[in-house]
Chains A and B, each alone.
Chain A
């Protein structure tokens, strides 16, 4: 492994972004590798479709290229990327308006087959029950209104702080708290009968 690639690994996201602004394309490739999974996961849980999620994640990184000059070193890269992601997602909501309709997706709640088999979380080392629980949560998330769903996914899948979510979405922190609290309350309804929930209560 070369020293250059080692430097890329040790560098923070912000440093890599500044390097990319100065013309180092390797830095951009490193950033994509680091954040592809997170962006794709949020896209997937947001849209519920793997192909669309892939396209949306790619569009987000293309937007990073286009808006690279607007990035400042003082900003957090992850927050900045989710800000771009938020803008991109608005266009997708326009293309798939039914995804955000809470009432039309009410039947999906508590249904383990609500998500397409292709787009469901793949099998892993998790136990079967955990997979069932994850699908149930994902289905419940898909029924949430878009702002609520977005805030929930930014927090749970994107690992953003409440303040950073507010920055990325352009809302104030109290609004984010309110939306997230509502999302948690609704999802809690569909998981409180599970053994995992009961175990977590202890």
Chain B
């Protein structure tokens, strides 16, 4: 280190602000340079002599400053107030607990908004094989039962349910089931089951065809006849011939000269024959001998009955 460099850093050395390396170099320079050493000693002496005593501020200085600070904050502009409030909120937001609480509330709110309500109501709906909601089936069955009661009470021919000659063990329950099924069959075609009670009880002349009564504009007469015949056949299949005779008779009387009427006559004859009411069966078959469709079969059947 030379004298010029030493003079530049001498104050740093006097105030002990030099790093160790430079301090060592300056020390080595001072050791052999009397001029620089005298400069350093003079500055050190001046530093020690010129220590100015600390002056205490006037009384009430701190209180005055704090009061001024309060006054400044009382008239703080809105922007600075907002910034300060934001700073305080941000300090709280940086903590994990408020963040987790906010996240939890967000999740609860989102679930209330997004998850669909009333899941239980959907659970009640079950679709059967026939494509009808289960609840409606039960409703139809109840109506069918009502109808059955009406039917049994109103029709003297209800004795067929306990006809000893038929050998069928049809109980009132099975009868009601049969009519319930019939009702279902009608419902499948869009008719109202309650109308059947009047029809089969013979109390409403206009309600001979319940489907027509229920929905006259939807179906034409041949279609209705076909549906009624199908329904009667369904009753025969489910509940037996004893229960199906009456619907066949109704159709036969309703469409006497049509092909549907002849089919109903043929089915009724079959049912009468199966229930050992041969005289009625024979008379129905004889009425069919003039039908081009059933003449051959009717004659064959008559011959068979005669041979037995």
Interface residues of A (CB under 8 A from B): 21-23, 25, 28-29, 32-33, 36-38, 40-41, 44-45, 50, 53-54, 57-58, 61-62, 65-66, 69, 121-122, 124, 126, 133-134, 137-138, 141, 153, 155-157, 161-163, 174, 177, 180-181, 184, 187-188, 191-192, 194, 196-197, 200-201
Contacts and interface: CB of A to CB of B under 8 A. Distances in A.
A95 B57 CA distance: 21
8 contacts: A21-B87, A23-B88, A36-B61, A40-B56, A65-B73, A69-B80, A162-B17, A188-B45
Contacts of A38: 54
SS of B interface (majority):
helix
B55 A200 contact: no
B52 A138 contact: yes
Given A177-B11, A191-B46, A40 B55 contact: yes
Nearest to B55: A41
Contact of B53 (A65, A69, A126, A153): A126
Contacts, number: 128
Nearest to B16: A161
A49 to B, nearest CB: 12
Nearest to B45: A200
Interface stretch (B36-44, B182-190, B207-215, B220-228): B36-44
B31 interface: no
Nearest to A156: B52
Contacts of B51: 156
SS of A interface (majority):
helix
Contact of B69 (A41, A65, A155, A177): A65
A54 B45 contact: no
B54 A157 contact: yes
Given A36-B62, A161-B17, A184-B47, 13 more contacts: A22-B88, A23-B88, A38-B54, A50-B58, A61-B69, A121-B53, A126-B53, A138-B52, A156-B47, A177-B11, A184-B46, A194-B49, A201-B42
A62 B68 contact: yes
B163 interface: no
A134 B53 CA distance: 7
B78 interface: no
A197 B49 contact: yes
B280 to A, nearest CB: 107
Given A37-B55, A121-B55, A134-B53, A32 B62 contact: yes
Contacts of B17: 161-163
